[in-house]
Structure 1
């Protein structure tokens, strides 16, 4: 009789152990299924389907952080293009400068006001000078916020009698506005911007 009770107790322990093992196995399977399901959802949410000329094209979406250096450089390049690429026309100059001022704070407006008060833009118009700027490189630090940059470029001043090249170096900080607009598609703002160097280069042979 005691042997029978012992066998029943042993069988109960085996059933209890098996039940615990089965519950743990089910929990592991459930966790794995949830993890895999979330992974599939993330991959699916990053896929964009575009209808182009009656054909469905698939594209992969990426977050802003993965493209941060590219977007920052483009913002810096666009600002300098609008600020320094000028035609000898007062209305055209004000139009491009206004586009630049959407991408920077009052430090850029201060630089513009100083150039305007010194008669710089009137001199360009009077001499019929077309001014272009070409980006050479951008030194960018994305490891510390706000992001610090140094812009290196070459200005080309074309007049009927000659062409002059100038070395341009500027620096500033970039802040993330977290919002994007038609005038500021990247959603960044240049602050504490200053021109470090803007001098004539030796004539090209």
Structure 2
């Protein structure tokens, strides 16, 4: 008797320990893709004598999943679910879905808090606060990024991973030496030149 929790971002990445722990009968919650289900035909090499078997899911909030976990079944989770960035996104999504204050916010209404948190970070840096305080202020600013990305995701514009990809794309364009396999220190003059060249390319592509 076990519950296998896959990462909804990459459900095809089945944990290695599942290769020896999956028992028939194998059941799935509704959202598990058919392409993922095909993989379990060969994995389920043993029969659960209790007849309960393994439940495969990407949704820990599914009622059946909750019921089986609460009954004490073994839970195997994809390691990627412990990623702090994934957890942060999940918390922000839940806050927006359940918090009355969060539900009422817009990009515009959040600007006041963005300014406030930015100033508090500046104060922490200039005031030579402890690393712990600096981390706290950075997390407050990070909350603002998560919040705006969540709002954009709700209207189908972009999501938090797209923001991260936009950063990588910008650096590819403005700091190509980070991606060309070269090593060593890059001079400030070269950095400035490449940065400006990258900005011009971006503007011409708009």
Please, what TM-score do these two structures have when normalized by structure 2?
0.21
Determine which structure has more spread, i.e. the larger CA radius of gyration: 1
Higher relative contact order (CA 8 A, sep 6+): 2
Structure with higher strand content: 1
